[in-house]
Amino acid sequence: MNSHQHHPGEPDHPAEDHARQGEDLAALLERLLDEAPDKTQKDLAAAANISYPTLNSWMNRTRGTSRVSPDRLRALAEAFRKWKVDVTVAEVFAAAGRQVPGRSEEEREARLLKLYRQLPEDKQRDVVKYAEAMLAVSRVS
């Protein structure tokens, strides 16, 4: 099933059917739901742990999206990815008119730990020494 194009393009240059520039959150969610077979707004609300009335108000554009928490936007992207729908967190944030915030503290720690565990033992010791030196310097500043 094809969803309607939000930017039809110019007569000589039809718009591409992916990554629609200027697509708002409601349009993005509608398009992504079209790509998720047998999924509904209620399914999306449950998968993203967002109340159905809240999601529905975003979809109907009766509630603004400028104050939607980053966690909720990430949860929407994750729900679609679990359903094998191709979307990035950046696309969801852009559709909500927001910049993607930096990684959360937990994400940074998990990334660091993953990298640390891949290092040989002598390099792990170097990382610890470096971190201790950085901490000492930051306490002086």
Q: How confident is the model over 89-130, as pLDDT tens digits?
A: 989 999 998 877 766 677 778 778 888 999 999 999 999 999
Any idea of the CA torsion for 17, 20, 96, 51, to the nearest 10 degrees?
Answer: -10
Q: What is the pLDDT of residue 11?
A: 38
Q: What is the pLDDT of residue 106?
A: 75
Q: Which residues pair with 10 in a beta bridge?
A: 13
Q: What is the pLDDT of residue 141?
A: 65
Indicate the domain borders of the chain: 9-95, 105-140
Q: What's the whole-model pTM score?
A: 0.59
27 Cβ contact list (under 8 Å, min separation 6): 6, 20, 95
Question: For 34-53, what is the mean pLDDT?
Answer: 96
Q: How confident is the model over 59-81, as pLDDT tens digits?
A: 999 988 878 888 899 999 999 99
Does 18 have pLDDT greater than 50? no
13 falls in which pLDDT band (50, 70, 90)? Answer: very low
| Domain 9-95 CATH (choose: 3.30.1330.10, 1.10.10.10, 1.10.760.10, 1.10.260.40) | 1.10.260.40
H helices of 1-141, in order, are 25-35, 41-48, 52-59, 70-82, 89-95, 105-118, 121-140
Q: What is the pLDDT of residue 15?
A: 33
